[in-house]
Amino acid sequence: MNSPASPPIISRLRSIVSGSIGNLVEWYDWYAYSAFALYFAPVFFPKGSPTAQLLNTAAIFAVGFLMRPLGAWLLGAYADRHGRRAALLLSVQLMAGGSLLIAAAPGYATIGVMAPALLLLARLVQGISVGGEYGTSATYLSEMAGARHRGFWSSFQYLTLMGGQLLALLVQLGLQQVLTAGQLADWGWRVPFVIGALAAMGALYLRTHMGETAAFEQKQQAVTLGEAEGEGHAPTPGQLRQLLKHPRAVLTVVGLTLGGTLAFYTFTTYAQKFLVNTAGFSKESATLISFGVMAVALLFQPLLGVISDKVGRRPVLLMFGIGATLGTVPLLRLLAQTHDAWTAAGLLIAALFVVSGYTSISAVVKAELFPTEIRALGVGLPFALTVAIFGGTAEYVALFAKDHGVEEWFYWYVTGCAFLSLLVYWRMGETRGEHGRMAED
């Protein structure tokens, strides 16, 4: 049978932009929690040491990550059965609901233990949303992009993911300028969650006008035609047992994600707290440094995406694996000892350039490992499981090590995970072009 015609370039670009903006909004909502934890931790938990309160908020942050595999499973299967667009619409609605709940939740002084319970519920909902968002949006962007520039367009996955974090920091900087520290701690921290819920509704509107991918429509037509011609009932797309028929691809996703996700969360969400809690910067200075670093790091994503389209995905992944294995411990040691903002920013920019060897192309590499009928689930579920175990707990493990006086153990933990991923990159084959499963699309 003939493939459905590819969408016109303008329509394709509009869909990619709409999907990317929705992705940015979802990740803004997710990261607003981490950005403002320094302010709302005392609101939801009993009085104690600042590190203990941050440990409590980090624990809920980690629990939110534990829901991401469930979201990846449910929404990934939904995307493989009913379309990428339908799953992306559902994920952004869940995120809006979670943000509204955080914005409206009373504090511990008002309702006692129900306060952290509501915070936990909101993060569980957001965890399901983000878990489904990653695999589905990665699949959508990869399938919408043309084969020649798939690395470039798929880099928008992490560009908008990091853009969401940057936007959360921008809101934080703005509120720090117009509100006092007391106002921020009292009620100002609720503002970013209201903004996030409203922005999610705007993203929902944009996503209603997105087109479906040609790869998904082609697969649906093939299934329908096969059943009409009496070839038997085709397996339902997105089933877990279908995913298990691709064990090598699943294990590859786990291996290539392991070091990348831990390094990413170490040098982004945890870095801001590291600057305050270990290096001794003020909250305002740490926020400003993190904002500037993330703004620069955004530029690395499309740059390395383009490079991967020219030289292949594997060399770019190897750059990250080698750099993170050799550089994590000395870089974190230097960062812990510096009291100069420019030096701290330079160290973090260097770290995120190395990490971008993973983030810029991780979406497309995973998508290129799986066939269309299982792609969203295949990209999302093993990734979400790995992120829940290693990325989601990065902040908690780091704070726990610091609280017990063995902070450098965390540095070596990140290094060890990066080395394991390096071994996977060294042994894996190239996925670009005719080497990958998307060559058939």
pLDDT of 107 > 90? The answer is no
419 band by pLDDT with thresholds 50, 70 and 90:
very high
Distance CA(337)–CA(90), nearest Å, equals: 45
pLDDT band at 5 (very low <50, low <70, confident <90, very high): very low
Measured between alpha carbons, how far is 64 from 121 in angstroms, rounded to an integer? 9
- In the numeric block, which tokens belong to residue 321? 């694996």
What DSSP letter does each residue of 329-353 carry, written as one string?
A: HHHHHHHHH---HHHHHHHHHHHHH
Burial of 341 (0-12, 13-18, 19+ CB in 10 A): middle
Residue count of the chain, please give it: 441
Mean of pLDDT values over 393-401: 87
Query: In sequence order, which residues have a C-beta less than 8 Å from that of residue 200 and are 6 or more positions away?
Result: 25, 26, 29, 92, 93, 95, 96, 99
Query: What are the pLDDT digits (tens) for 176-217?
Result: 889 888 888 888 989 999 998 888 888 888 888 777 777 777
The candidate with the shortest Cα–Cα distance to 36, out of 13, 61, 15, is: 61
Domains (range + CATH), the chain: 10-440 (1.20.1250.20)
pLDDT above 70 (res 92) = yes
Average pLDDT estimate for 365-379: 83
- Whole-angstrom Cα distance, residue 282 to residue 273? 10
pLDDT in tens, 309-326: 888 888 999 999 999 999
Of the listed ranges 104-108, 293-297, 335-339, the one predicted with least confidence? 104-108
Q: Is the pLDDT of residue 1 over 50?
A: no
**80, pLDDT greater than 80:** yes
Residues 329/388, Cβ–Cβ less than 8 Å: no
Residue 383 Cα distances to 30, 72, 131, angstroms: 17, 9, 9
Q: Cβ(273)–Cβ(55) under 8 Å?
A: no
In this predicted structure, what is the pLDDT of residue 7? 52
Query: pLDDT (tens digit, 9 = 90+) per residue, 233-246?
Result: 555 555 777 788 88
pLDDT at 227: 53
Task: Supply the pLDDT for residue 4.
Answer: 45
Q: Rounded to two decimals, what is the model's pTM?
A: 0.77
Ranges of H-type helices in 145-282 = 150-154, 156-178, 181-186, 191-207, 214-228, 240-243, 247-267, 269-277
